[in-house]
Structure 1
Amino acid sequence: MDDRLRYDRATAGLEPPFAILDLAAMRANAADLVRRAAGKPIRVASKSVRSRPLLERILAMDGFQGIMAFTLPEALWLAAHGFTDILVAYPTADRRALAALAGDADAARHITVTVDSAAHLDFVEAAVAAVRSRSEIRTCIEVDAAYLAVGGRFRAGVLRSPVREPEQAVHLAADIAARPGFRLAGLMAYEAQIAGLGDDPPGNAAYARLVRLMQTRSARELVLRRGRVVNAVRQVADLEFVNGGGTGSVERTVREKAITEVAAGSGFFHPRLFDFYRRFTGRPAALFALPVVRRPGPDAVAVLGGGYPASGTPGPNRLPQPYLPAGLRYAPDEGAGEVQTPLLGQAAGDLRIGDRVWFRHAKAGELCERFDELHLVEGDTVVESVPTYRGEGRTFL
């Protein structure tokens, strides 16, 4: 049975729009991540999942350990529901959440916040100054993992931490050690130019070669620099973990001796942007269905809604992919619309009012900001429906 028929049959009792998760596909993707990690634990990036029951399912599988959260309020909420070993991977400026963390001994044992400057430490100190019986704040230093060339004039990677060299990391680590109520628990460095950039982009062979060359040189530079940073900081603090990488770089990152764990999240759902890697092939697991509501022409339909672009630099690759039936494309002068999305192609000729068109989001967890629940499909049956963060009334960003 082909996937379109299987999904249509499984969800025959549901009215679109809705979202599904193919459990067999997710399990296969998870198993592939574990294989690529070669024995090192994988910290689950919650921003790419955004469903508490799904996080529980994933963490129950062998090979996965800990959460990489995206906000401190999210981390506090997860800790209150029994999750442990939570790294908030982005610095916080939420005074109320910091005070709540400092005042909750149980949460403080399980949550680590990321810093990359003395200014962050000053901010945290001010935010928790009035807390009585303050708990120790666990911290993680983020190190810049971007690739610089041509004397720094060329940069590949995201603009995150100003901490790049061993002496900068040691200086910040010593500052943490000198402040009462703080403890340095770990280091992290995310090589977005490798983990989040496909090395096999379609339609431009010359660009693909440049990407691969940059990634090879970046990985070579990073393994040396990250190792030096970790060795230097270990002279100041007894690190519990050193985190790196992401779905697109797992097998590369785990080869570094300095790395104790890798992060992954998008690999579970395998959204559209992760089709363009040579080192691994995932199975699309998370989809959403929209109903056909118009037939404006013989090879044209319009579905309800669909304007769900992904974050990042705007462009066609940030739009959802019309996936099933195959062969549909956007109308070039309309794209994905707020209340309707026209789709063109020969496949549109076979669609009737009320039929479903299945889409893949360009990114992973952002899909869950559009839907209250995910319907879990096993074979041709919905076996369970689980809430997303939104479905539990939680919108952290």
Structure 2
Amino acid sequence: MSSAFVHPAADRARYDRATAHLDAPLAVCDLAAFDANAADLVRRAGGKPVRVASKSLRCRALLERALDHPGFAGVMAFTLAESLWLARCGLRDVLLAYPSADRAGYAELAADPGLAAAVTVMVDDPAQLSLIDRARAGGTQEIRVCLELDTSLRLLGGRLRVGARRSPLHSPAEVAELARSVARRPGFRLVGLMGYEGHVAGVGDAVPGRPLRSRAVRLMQHVARRELAERRAAVVRAVRAVQPELEFVNGGGTGSVQHTVAEDAVTEVAAGSGLLMPRLFDHYTGFAGRPAALFALPVVRRPGLGVVTVLGGGYPASGAPGADRLPVPYLPQGLRYDAAEGAGEVQTPLLGPAADDLLIGDKVWFRHAKSGEPAERFDALHLVEGDRVTATAPTYRGEGQTFL
């Protein structure tokens, strides 16, 4: 984390002043930090467009703010229902990053010229094309299709795999064969390729106290980037032989932007978490961002010396269960969980010397492990500029949208 930007005691005072008129629990976004993070993503993208990942924000006001920054273009959505909703709200370039089985959504997409022009769906299996065909329900609009490449690193003849289990399409031949399947089917048009290298973009390579692991991660990522760059270039050549007029080749993520844009085959990168900087993105050698999203919980009990209890707090992040998936008490500094209780469903005890300076009703500020997911807990984000809340923006939840 860049010490040039983060001054915890001053930030706590600002956030407390800004929200003094508001009762916790509540969530905020520091707009100065958000804008600085956006500018850094654009800088690292080196002139290639940054497509903003909606799952990392889940707030239309923040999506629109990101897109207002020169260098951002388009949205990467996470469900078909969300994609259609965003398109109906006026966003004109929405890439659905995951395959869907939403038959009603496909029927709506195939029946509406405006939606069909704005939304691109993800496919990595001919069976998904068949599902869409069956779901059309008489709709005649051409469906824009993107193919997803499996970016995982395979070693020892494929016996060892590093990376997320996403697409089954690994080789140029496999991707090109699905491209031909799309080309043979009326009513579909192949417009793009995507490959998300999560083992590079989403894994910190400079974890404090774990030098050997960090060194191993850096070595793995170096090998993975080199292998993927060669394979992705071959995939793009093979697909362009089938469909020369590809509109985009998307890659990367917050942690790998500067590396992914170095590939000639890639035309754009995706990023979202880097705008808010959750704590899982603290430990990277390639960049340092400013925490922009926090939530506050109120002190409601003082059980004893060195202990306070806050209301709520059990907001673990998705992924493999572990301590790194928990939010962290951030401000004031010097608080920690009780190992016997952790983050609670309704209340959370916090230990440490800082507890003795907290009074009933004071706010404790937390950072979530991952970006976007706190929006499923809070119906609004209070937008902070300096030491004032200048606006309040509904999250997806606040707009009545629960996509997953």
With the length of structure 1 as denominator, give the TM-score of the two structures: 0.99
Aligned to 1:139: 145
Answer yes or no: is 1:236 the counterpart of 2:245: no
Distance 2:380 2:162 in 1: 36
Aligned to 1:359: 366
Aligned to 1:54: 62
Aligned to 1:67: 75
Answer yes or no: is 1:84 the counterpart of 2:92: yes
Report the CA distance between 1:374 and its aligned residue.
0.3
Amino acid at match of 1:253: T
Aligned to 1:122: 130
Report the CA distance between 1:53 and its aligned residue.
1.4
Aligned to 1:254: 261
Matches within 5 A, 1:65-214: 65-128=73-136, 130-132=137-139, 134-214=140-220
Distance 1:285 1:96 in 2: 36
Q: Alpha-carbon deviations, 1:214-271, whole Å to 9, x = none?
A: 0000001000000000011001112100000000000000000000000000000000
Distance 1:113 1:286 in 2: 29
Q: 7, 12, 31: which one pairs with 1:4?
A: 12
Amino acid at match of 2:142: E
Report the CA distance between 1:275 and its aligned residue.
0.2
Of 114-123 and 199-208, deviating more is 199-208
Answer yes or no: is 1:334 the counterpart of 2:341: yes
Give SS of 2:333's match: coil
Amino acid at match of 2:175: A
Distance 1:246 1:385 in 2: 28
Distance 2:85 2:329 in 1: 35
Q: Alpha-carbon deviations, 1:116-157, whole Å to 9, x = none?
A: 0111111111111x224x100000000000111122122111
Aligned to 2:279: 272
Aligned to 2:233: 227
Q: Alpha-carbon deviations, 1:96-134, whole Å to 9, x = none?
A: 000000011100001000000111111111111x224x1
Report the CA distance between 1:297 and its aligned residue.
1.3
Q: Alpha-carbon deviations, 1:147-178, whole Å to 9, x = none?
A: 11122122111000000111111110011001
Give the RMSD, CA atoms, in angstroms.
Answer: 0.7
Q: Which runs of 5+ in 1 are unaligned?
A: none
Amino acid at match of 2:172: P
Q: Alpha-carbon deviations, 1:324-371, whole Å to 9, x = none?
A: 000100000100000000100111111111110000000110010000
Distance 1:277 1:347 in 2: 28
Runs of 4 or more, structure 1, over 2 Å off, are none
Distance 1:84 1:370 in 2: 28
Report the CA distance between 1:54 and its aligned residue.
1.4
Distance 1:354 1:287 in 2: 18
Distance 2:68 2:12 in 1: 29
Aligned to 1:302: 309
Aligned to 2:296: 289
Of 317-326 and 198-207, deviating more is 198-207
Report the CA distance between 1:310 and its aligned residue.
0.2
Answer yes or no: is 1:43 the counterpart of 2:51: yes
Of 149-158 and 262-271, deviating more is 149-158
With the length of structure 2 as denominator, give the TM-score of the two structures: 0.97
Distance 1:277 1:103 in 2: 45
Aligned to 2:22: 14
Give SS of 1:295's match: strand
Distance 1:56 1:38 in 2: 21
Give SS of 1:44's match: strand
Give SS of 2:158's match: coil
- Percentage of pairs with the same residue: 63
